[in-house]
Amino acid sequence: MALTTKKMTFRSLEGYMTKDRIQEFSLEQAEPVWLTDLRLKAFEKVSELDLPVVERVKFHRWNLGDGRLETNDAIGSVPDFTELGDNPKLVQVGSQTVLEQLPMDLVEQGVVFTDFASAMDVIPDVIEKYLGAAAAYDEHKLSAYNTAYFNATAILYVPDHVEIEQPVEALFYQDSTSPVAFNKRVLIIAGKNTKLNYLERFESLGDGNVASSANIVVEIIAQAGSQIKFAAIDRLGKHLDTYIARRGLLGNDASIDWAIGLMNQGNVVADFDSDLKGNGSHANLKVVALSSGRQVQGVDTRVTNYGHNSVGHILQQGVILESGTLTFNGIGHIIRGAKGADAQQESRVLMLSDKARSDANPILLIDENEVTAGHAASIGQVDPEDMYYLMSRGLDRATAERLVVRGFLGSVITEIPVKEVRDELVAVIDEILTKR
């Protein structure tokens, strides 16, 4: 992402954090020296770097961090899960891990699915090598802030040639009753010729509305020949201002199929990037977003083609209710030397209110010949003919409208690998539409 010259406004940032506090926190968490040093380097960059640019989104006055580095209190009771199943599962509330579930056959194959502290006992060299490989700490102010201030962690490591048949599920809850910032760092490392389905959910827990912030960075290292299906549903509360980045770094013939549902209630800036470093690498990004109330969401989705014959496709679809604002920026960048690369993107927005605001900005940056690229964008309201057809079959207007929206968003929803989650996403959309 490009950088802006505008100055960041964190709430009382300088009043809380010092180098001594970072060192103290790192010592409390028993972090290795290299991680303490990384935090300190990032801390210096927070005051030096500018905010990322998200075109046509004004977020410079949002609460994106208060400068405190704290952990959540231990959980007294575990959230209720009606169906745990027997698939790999990690559940965290704030900075606390409440459930780890990993079948013994995967443990015996060297799979790791836990928090950083526990993983440091098993794969310390792997974490040191790959942390920040897909999301550099010195890219901009928010990336530096995450590296310096992250207080909740998770890592998934899949060794070479391991295929995980069951979905790998991560549930990350933000405590809506706590003022502790939700600064999350997730690192996924897929070794050579691995295969997995990963499902990630970020959700606010409880009925509280304590104003806070969230800074979330998810890194995926897809090594040569790996195949990853990544699905995410974000349902953070309206009391949060959120920055969320999901970054993929792909080797030769690696692939990541992304399916991301942004169902948050608060203000969000999102940054979804795939760096196609390897020859023959492939990234397919599908993003669905819903904005309502006076919510503002800005989504940058970028694919950068470095490798020969690399393929990057972006499909973004959004629905806006009431006075919501939704901006899609799709960026396809073919770097010089990426012979035979393919970059395609499409952004479509459906507005259900005259007060809704939207932008869809396709951007192509082509630095090489012998490539293919294309883009499309559209913003519009519900087709009256579709509504007429459904209502002529006996449906009321509200039901017909929900069906139109569900069909509009269906191409992303169908990509989520777990049926229960697909059903949940449809239910969330229906719930939001019903409350209009």
pLDDT digit string, tens, across residues 7-23: 344 544 444 678 898 99
Answer yes or no: do 247 and 388 share one domain.
no
Look up residue 56 and give its two tokens: 């046509």
Is residue 434 a contact partner of residue 398, using CB atoms and an 8 Å limit? yes
Check residue 6 and give its pLDDT: 38
Placement of tokens 């891990």 in the chain: 97
Whether 434 is in a domain gets the answer: yes
| Cα 247–Cα 128–Cα 71 angle in degrees, nearest 5 | 75
The answer to whether residue 4 scores a pLDDT higher than 60 is no
Q: Which residue range is the domain that position 394 belongs to? A: 383-436
Whether 314 is in a domain gets the answer: no
The answer to whether residue 114 scores a pLDDT higher than 90 is yes
Answer yes or no: do 238 and 97 share one domain.
yes
Strand-by-strand arrangement of the 227-235 sheet: 96-101, 89-93, 168-175, 195-205, 227-235, 255-262, 282-291, 311-320, 342-351, 372-381
Last residue of a domain, one of 249, 278, 307: 278
Domain count, the chain: 2
pLDDT band (50, 70, 90) for residue 386:
confident
CA pair distance 276, 305, nearest whole angstrom: 5
Whether 319 is in a domain gets the answer: no
Measured CA to CA in angstroms, residue 297 lies from 54, 71, 166, 267, 292 at distances of 10, 27, 33, 6, 10
Q: Where is 346: in which H helix or E strand?
A: strand 342-351
What's this model's pTM, rounded to 2 decimal places? 0.93
CA pair distance 144, 46, nearest whole angstrom: 6
Is residue 319 a contact partner of residue 290, using CB atoms and an 8 Å limit? yes
Answer yes or no: do 407 and 260 share one domain.
no
Answer yes or no: do 269 and 394 share one domain.
no
For the segment 136-180, what is each residue's pLDDT rounded down to a tens digit?
Answer: 999 999 999 999 999 999 999 999 999 999 999 999 999 999 999
Question: Which string of DSSP letters, residue by residue, matches 132-195?
Answer: TSSS-TTSSHHHHHHHHH--EEEEEEE-TT-B--SPEEEEEEEETT--S-EEEEEEEEE-TT-E
Is residue 52 a contact partner of residue 3, using CB atoms and an 8 Å limit? yes
pLDDT band (50, 70, 90) for residue 257:
very high
Classify strands 89-93 and 96-101 as parallel, antiparallel or unpaired: antiparallel
Q: Which residues of 324-338 are buried (b: 16+ CB within 10 A; e: fewer)?
A: bbbbbbbbbbbbeeb
410 or 265, which is more confident? 265
CA pair distance 205, 426, nearest whole angstrom: 20
Last residue of a domain, one of 278, 295, 314: 278
Question: What single-letter amino acid sits at 393?
Answer: R
Check residue 83 and give its pLDDT: 63
CA pair distance 422, 406, nearest whole angstrom: 11
Placement of tokens 């999350």 in the chain: 184
Whether 317 is in a domain gets the answer: no
Is residue 90 a contact partner of residue 169, using CB atoms and an 8 Å limit? yes
Look up residue 321 and give its two tokens: 């209710």
pLDDT band (50, 70, 90) for residue 210:
very high
For the segment 82-110, what is each residue's pLDDT rounded down to a tens digit?
Answer: 467 889 999 999 999 999 999 999 999 99
Last residue of a domain, one of 250, 278, 306: 278
Answer yes or no: do 139 and 274 share one domain.
yes
Is residue 172 a contact partner of residue 205, using CB atoms and an 8 Å limit? no
Q: Around Cβ 111, how many Cβ atoms within 10 Å?
A: 21
Check residue 387 and give its pLDDT: 84
The answer to whether residue 372 scores a pLDDT higher than 70 is yes
CA pair distance 186, 202, nearest whole angstrom: 12
Rg of the Cα trace of the chain?
21
- The pLDDT of 126-136, averaged and rounded, is 98
Look up residue 369 and give its two tokens: 């010949």
Whether 409 is in a domain gets the answer: yes
Is residue 221 a contact partner of residue 130, using CB atoms and an 8 Å limit? yes
- The pLDDT of 379-405, averaged and rounded, is 87
